[in-house]
Every structure is written in C-alpha cells, then in structure tokens.
Amino acid sequence: MFVVEATKDGRDHRVIDRDANVYLKWLVAGGPYFTEVFSLVHAGGSIPFTTAREEGIDAESALPYFVYRFLTFGSAPKAHRNTKHLVNRTFDDEVEKRCWKEVATEALLVFGWAYNGLKAPHPSYTRVDLDGKIYTLKDFGYALNSK
C-alpha cells in the first residue's frame, strides 16, 4: 500500500509503496486546464504521465470531489522545462500498460490534491477515471487517516 513520506532532505514529498518498490513523484502543473505531470518510478525505470483534474459535486451525497483523468501514459509531451529529463516509456503489451495504470491510479488516490489523499474530507473526495471506471480509495482497501 502507498503512503506519503518526506524525502530524505525533507524538502519534498512522494507517494511510496515500499513493498513494491514504487513511488509517485509530482513534477509540474499547468496548462489551460488543470493538468499535472507525474512520474511513476520503479526498479525498472520510470513512467511519465499527464493528468487533468476536474471538480464536481456528487449527485447522491452532495459532497464535493475531484477526479483525475489520464491524458497521456508513458509520455508527457507538453511538460514544462523542469521535466525535460523524462524518458518516454512505450508498452508493447497492453496488459502490462494496464497494470501500471492501475498502480498509478492507486498512487494518485493517495496523492490526493497535494499529498493529502489519506486526509481528504471524505473517502470519495479523490477519484481517478481509469478507462471509464471511477476508482476511490476504498477500491484499493484504504481508509482515511484521522485529521
């Protein structure tokens, strides 16, 4: 399971799953829509991707939420200057790509708005749209931490 932790120098954070040796790194935000660039880092390399974030109000509960949607996965073509170090990742196997997108989905849910996904106002505050299916923390077995 992913947790949020400070980096060794204490100046930055990341979302990490130590058992799987994978972490999510937020890189940059911007664009005409609220887009963000992340990198999913693992022992075999890294996978850059771009998301868009939309806010909404849940029709049943009337609670606010936001949802991430993947714009790219394996590249970040419109990233700003501080992401030039990223190397595109191509996938020969759609099953492998889907598995990594599921890992990224879980990490984004824990990331939340800004490393606060486990301290969100309610369990479905952060959502991720993965190929038309909406995921929340509960889908990956998480409970919110007390504030």
Band of residue 146 on the pLDDT scale cut at 50, 70, 90: low
Paired tokens of 80: 């700003």
Whether the per-residue pLDDT at 32 is higher than 90: the answer is no
Cα–Cα separations (whole angstroms), residue 79 to 23, 47, 72 = 20, 14, 11
pTM, full prediction: 0.91
Q: What is the percentage of the chain residues whose pLDDT exceeds 70?
A: 92
| Radius of gyration of the chain, Cα coordinates, nearest whole angstrom | 15
Average pLDDT of the segment spanning 98-107: 98
Band of residue 81 on the pLDDT scale cut at 50, 70, 90: low
- Coil, strand or helix: which one is 105? helix
Domain ranges of the chain: 3-140
Whether the per-residue pLDDT at 147 is higher than 70: the answer is no
